[in-house]
Amino acid sequence: MGGRVGVAVAALLMAAGLQTSQRAAASSSGDGPVAPRRLAETGLYDPQRPGVVASGNRPFSPQYPLWSDGAVKARWVYLPPGAAIDAAGADWAFPVGTRFWKEFRINGRKVETRLLWRASMARWIMASYIWNEEGTDAVLAPEEGVPAAAEIAAGRQHAIPSGAECAACHGTARVGPLGFNPLQLSTDRDPNAIHGEPLAPDMLTLKTLVDEGRILPAPALLEASPPRIATANPRTRAVLGYLSTNCGSCHDGSDGISARTPSLRYGDLLDDGDAVARSLVGHASSWQVPGRPEGSSVLLDPESPEWSAVLVRMRSRRPSSQMPPLGTVIRDQEAVDAIAEWIATDLAPPR
- Tens of pLDDT, residues 223-250: 568 999 999 999 999 999 999 999 987 8
pLDDT confidence band for 2 (50 / 70 / 90): very low
- Asked if the model's pLDDT at residue 31 lies above 80, the reply is no
Average pLDDT over residues 176-203: 94
Long-range contacts of residues 241-245, Cβ cutoff 8 Å, at least 24 apart = 241/63, 241/64, 241/183, 241/190, 241/193, 241/194, 241/269, 242/64, 242/193, 242/194, 242/335, 242/338, 242/339, 243/310, 244/64, 244/183, 244/269, 245/62, 245/64, 245/65, 245/66, 245/178, 245/179, 245/184
pLDDT given for residue 21 in this prediction: 40
pLDDT given for residue 27 in this prediction: 37
Average pLDDT over residues 260-271: 89
pTM of the model: 0.88
Q: What percentage of the chain has pLDDT greater than the value 90?
A: 70
- The DSSP bridge pattern shows strands 123-131 and 109-120 to be antiparallel
In angstroms, the first-to-last Cα distance of the chain is 53
pLDDT given for residue 166 in this prediction: 79
pLDDT given for residue 241 in this prediction: 97
Average pLDDT over residues 142-170: 87
- Asked if the model's pLDDT at residue 81 lies above 60, the reply is yes
pLDDT given for residue 127 in this prediction: 95
Average pLDDT over residues 197-210: 94
Find all residues with CB under 8 Å of 233, minimum gap 6, and list them: 274, 346
pLDDT confidence band for 44 (50 / 70 / 90): very high
Of 8-12, 17-21, 206-210, the range with the highest mean pLDDT is 206-210
pLDDT given for residue 218 in this prediction: 78
- Asked if the model's pLDDT at residue 102 lies above 60, the reply is yes
Average pLDDT over residues 172-184: 83
- Asked if the model's pLDDT at residue 306 lies above 80, the reply is yes
Find all residues with CB under 8 Å of 306, minimum gap 6, and list them: 312, 340
Looking at residue 118, the DSSP 8-state letter turns out to be: E
Average pLDDT over residues 270-292: 94
Distance in angstroms (rounded) separating the CA atoms of residues 286 and 283: 10
- Asked if the model's pLDDT at residue 261 lies above 90, the reply is no
- Asked if the model's pLDDT at residue 220 lies above 70, the reply is no
Find all residues with CB under 8 Å of 314, minimum gap 6, and list them: 322, 323, 331, 332, 335, 336, 339
Distance in angstroms (rounded) separating the CA atoms of residues 15 and 269: 45
Beta strands of the chain (E only): which ranges?
A: 58-59, 72-78, 85-86, 99-106, 109-120, 123-131, 138-140, 146-153, 156-160, 215-216
Which residue from 111, 310, 59, 266 is spatially nearest to 178, judged by alpha carbons?
266
pLDDT given for residue 237 in this prediction: 98
Average pLDDT over residues 302-319: 94
Average pLDDT over residues 92-117: 96
Residues 120-132 pLDDT 10s: 999 999 999 999 9
* Backbone φ and ψ of 105, nearest 5°: -115, 130
- Asked if the model's pLDDT at residue 205 lies above 80, the reply is yes
